[in-house]
Structure 1
Amino acid sequence: MDRFDLSVASERWLWKKDTLKEPTVLQSFALDEVHKHLYVLQIVWGGSEAGDLCLNRLDLQGKRLGHMYLRGFGHGVGIGVQHAPDGTLWIWTECAASEGGYGRGVTRFRFFPGATREVADVNVRFPIPGSTGNQPSICQATGRIAVRHRVDDVPRYRIYDLAAFVAGDYTSHLADFPQTGTHPDPTVPFQGFALHGDHLYQLAGTPYDPQSNPPAGRGDTHVSCLHIRTGEPVQRERTEAGHSLSFREPEGLAVRRTPKPWLCMGFASGAVGAREFSVYYKPHRP
């Protein structure tokens, strides 16, 4: 499948929604296009160091349909949706948070509205021994999973066949390469990623700040693309999507496949304790 051209102008999907359960920013999101649901992860208010997350299920207009709490899971940097052959819907997230609040492994579980899951309730997978900061992304088009992780505090990606990964085969990965090319300024924080076909998309940027990132400059957010076969950068573009938002922190990337492919970018806005979220997208242009 063709990659997204990151120079294509962004369009608005969801705008300044205040429907998430927690008053914190979104961290990542993924789509269940079979049932027309959007899943959004947040850190629980005051739960960052413990790795406590809130998982929201929304409809495609942004209305909240339910939520779950995930205690000790991580920071919520990545999320994936898997449709199993038997019809079961699985949600993939990081899990088993370290003292810094980031997952040491990944897991999958079913969504149950109002439920709370502890680490002991799920099967935690540790595909890269000794790694930290594990986060998943699922490509539903190819049946692959990307696991972002850190080895010696250096971020990398490892790509697996999802069926093999579910079966516990972590040795025959399809690709392994370092995170690179996220932003012209390497100190700017990483904010999300999405695997789609043979390409992996990355998001980086900071919220507005009167001195370092003033709103008049329309932000420092960049979206980039790596080829998973080579690990080499393919394209990187600055985006002004949602530039009129207050605060405007980029948070999360996801791919919507139908009716036409979209590369979706999340943005947090609003005041502390009353955050909102917006989603913009880059349409696929053949």
Structure 2
Amino acid sequence: MRWLSTKALREGTVLQSFAFDETHKHLYVLQVRADGEAAGNLCLNRLDHQGNALGHMYLQGFGHGVSMGVQNAPDGTVWIWTEAASKGGYGQGVTRFRFTAGAVRTAEDVKVRKPIPGSTNNQPSVCMTSKRVSVRYRMDGKARYRVWDLESFVDRDYDDPVADFAQTGAHPDATIPFQGYALHGDHVYQLAGTAYDAKTNPPAERGNAYLSCLDIRTGKLVQRTRTGAGASLTYREPEGLAVRGSRLYMGFASGTSGARRFSLYYKPAAKKDA
């Protein structure tokens, strides 16, 4: 089901990831800044649930924005979790900060966490239902997930994770790009796929985007399915996942280069429909 259709963001680039602040009915969307991919320069957009802009801030040298999270703290503070400390365009740690419209943050003025020694490409997700945080990371070039209790992670106690397992099953074709993930309860949801291409991924075949679900208790693939959501979009590149209530939301970029738009579609966030 479509939730938001062809909405604009601050930059003319594709969305990379998004997350919901249900307490304040806000939607946060990350995108790479134009000509800033190699440096890891991001734009964080805050919108209402109708897709109207409520401000933005720039994150210089943070990463690619593969995933993000929103933490609603008991004292009312809203923390935004993203990757940080970009190297080669991808964050080598994670951080959290408060949203400030119009602000510019650099990796030097946030507290970067590196919870997995020796890892690269750290990308966070937060589940406020289970009060957990996950980090997708690479070790020796291979992608994995590690999950912690959120309170312990905030306290920098990384020694007793809830789970640690290899990424698997994101797409039937292992060469197809990974496009985002979201932690929810005992499951990690994954998105993979490419933009439409007349030869390799024609619109007539409704795209090659796949959703998959992993059980964090076993690391095993629960289910994987191709999704035709947003099939009528031009360009249609899958980008980002987030869970809101009982729904799993998928992001899709559309439009022309330099003037991209984003749309969100949803389906039940149940493992049988992953």
Matched, 1:59 2:48: yes
Corresponding residue of 1:28 = 17
Which residue of structure 2 aligns with residue 3 of structure 1?
A: none
1:102–1:284 Cα change, 3 Å: closer
TM-score of the aligned structures, taking structure 2 as reference length: 0.98
Query: RMSD across aligned C-alpha pairs, in angstroms?
Result: 0.9
Structure 1 position 266 matched with structure 2 position 251: yes
The equivalent residue for 1:124 is: 112
What residue in structure 1 maps to residue 75 of structure 2? 86
Question: Which letter maps to 1:14?
Answer: L
Give the residue type in structure 2 aligned to 1:269: S
Is 1:111 matched with 2:99? yes
Relative distance call for 1:51 and 1:284 in structure 2 (3 A) is: closer
Please, which runs of 5 or more residues in structure 2 have no aligned partner?
A: none
Distance 2:269 2:180 in 1: 19
Matched, 1:230 2:215: no
CA distance in 2, matches of 1:209, 1:23: 20
Pick aligned residue for 2:66 from 63, 71, 77:
77
Q: What secondary structure, in the 3-state scheme, does the structure 2 residue paired with 1:165 have?
A: helix
SS of residue paired to 1:120: helix
Cα deviation, 1:11-32, whole Å, max 9, x if unaligned, reads 00001112x1000000000000
* Structure 1 residues 97-246: aligned runs within 5 Å: 97-98=86-87, 100-246=88-234
SS in 1 for 2:204: helix
Give, as a single letter, the amino acid of the residue that structure 1 aligns with 2:258. Answer: G
Q: Contact between 2:137 and 2:144, CA under 8 Å: does it hold in 1?
A: yes
Alignment correspondent of 2:7: 17
Q: How many aligned residue pairs are there? A: 271
User: Any stretches of 5+ residues in structure 1 without a counterpart?
Assistant: 1-10
Task: Write the letter of the residue equivalent to 1:69.
Answer: Y
C-alpha deviations, 1:47-101, integer Å up to 9, x for none? 0000000000000000010000000000000100001111110000000001x11
Report the secondary structure of 1:163's partner residue: helix
